[in-house]
Structure 1
């Protein structure tokens, strides 16, 4: 029952070309950078990545995009990632844009064995009516639009039918794991990580610390080990980049300004 793996390379060894990979994290927060770097080194290509967003231009997911290993992305946000945007507009990348809450529920439903569900999110927009560009040509023309959703009235409210999402493999990041694969996440890294693991056939996690089974209190387990196939303990100094650095000057009181100190 010991699920501890030696290296990130061992954890991604089963990934093959054309598979669907669910990647946890929100931007750089909770993104499994070590596993993604190992995936890049593995040479696997033609991948379908499911993630909330690919992060900034220095993210590990962007490294896969830059190496042309990704054929399709399902996400809620393109943002200011120039690599992602350029490949999308030049026709080399198929992109399925999904509202963020809907994306989370599609993964949760996939993990729960629910094939589809109704949601009011997107009613009256291009999400419902179709028409969101999915793929462009090299010349910049739209080659394919998203399809219209089925609409039904539920308790007097129009709702869209959304199909759940599943993946071949999930790559996630947690703070602590025990040898049975039970996970505890740190703060906001507990975002899409549990959902991605639940929706995948195989889930592997990179973690900061591994402890013996039983040392994580039952109430502190955020994701049971039944959803986790393997864990890799990060060794050495971790690189935790800041996505957007913001500095704020403290307010200066009027008394200080009048005294000439400021």
Structure 2
């Protein structure tokens, strides 16, 4: 079954399950990205900071999937914010990828103390107008940061990519994104593996004859998020996309909803990280 897609606020669509390339080496990336594409993934997520854009680009070219079928995301790192610097960084990413455009370009972190994210966002708007970034968005932005972008430019991000997993469900940011027709995309959707030993998740997995990872990713799909699980294991690449032959019931969704914790964050705090 094909991966379902969600509508973006710019008229385009994004697959709900993608392959995340965080922590993959440049040498690993061609083989693993190729495996993901052959398994049916069409969303590939990388970033300049991951150091593997060249390998990801090679994997895409070697797989020979029609470019129009792919949805490739990369991201601008913190030290490249600013009008001219962001444009140079974007050009460098395209060069490493060996591709004429990306489907989604994100500001990786807001770095509010640098006071450059609005200026940077204006550059991303120009890149979209030039057609070299088909859609533009942000990562790790709070509701306040997003309100500032919209207030200053009138342009809402298409995507907000944030840490989101059963123990850190981000209900308020998801609601705020929805008010602006922004798709919420989950990084570390499996909680970097910490979710997979939870007794509630294990019991639901047993009831469906599925793995804990499949249950968590199915939950991500059913709450309306995009999820980009990362793995370097070929068998997990296949497992993480095999989500569309079962559905979680209302009671199971409620059980997972009850796992949310205010202290469930694993990654940095966007208010201070830069």
TM-score range with shorter-chain normalisation?
A: 0.3 to 0.5
More helix by share: 2
Larger radius of gyration: 1
More strand by share: 1
Question: TM-score of the superposition, structure 2-length normalised?
Answer: 0.34
